[in-house]
Amino acid sequence: MKLAKLDFLLRYPRHLRRVLLAQGARPDQVEGIDPNEAPLDARMMRYRYGPWDPSYYAVLGSLIGRGLVEVAPLPGKGFGYRTSATGAQLAADLRADESFTHINLRLRLLRRYLDKSGTTLKNYIYELPEIADATWHEDLT
C-alpha cells in the first residue's frame, strides 16, 4: 500500500504539493514542483484503498526478474519489497542524471516529509476531495 501511495504522489505533482504543504513543507520548498505537469506515464485509478495502477504486478515482477528488487518478509505483515544492490546502483545512476532533476526534487521531499506508513499516507490522500469522492475504477486526475 505504501508504494502505491508514494507512486501516486510522485506522479501527480499538484496533489503532492498540497499534501506536502499540509505536512509542514514551506512554500519555497515546493515551488519547483509544477502543479500543472501531467501525471507520469499512465493515469492511476481509484481502488479500494486509494490510487492504484493495475500494472503494478507486472512491473514488480519485471523488477524482481531483473534482479533490481527483492521480496523481503515483514514481521507479522507478509512481504514487502526492497532494492537489491544492483537496483540501488541503478537508482543512484538515475539520480545523477540531470534529466531526472524534477523527479529527484519530488523524491527528496517525499522522503523528508512523507516517509510514513501506508495507512497514514492513505489518510493524507483521502483528505483530497478529488480522490475521496472518486468512484472505484475511475481514472484519477
**Spatial contact of 30 and 17, defined as CB atoms under 8 Å apart:** yes
139: which DSSP letter?
B
Print burial letters for 115-131: b (CB count within 10 Å at least 16), e (below 16): eeeeeebbebbeebeeb
pTM, full prediction: 0.86
Shortest CA distance to 44 belongs to which of 90, 7, 94, 85?
Answer: 7
In a structure prediction context, what are the per-residue pLDDT tens digits for the chain, which is 141 residues long?
A: 888 999 999 999 999 999 999 999 999 999 999 888 876 666 788 888 789 998 999 999 999 999 999 999 988 878 889 999 999 999 999 999 999 998 999 999 999 999 999 999 999 999 999 998 888 888 888
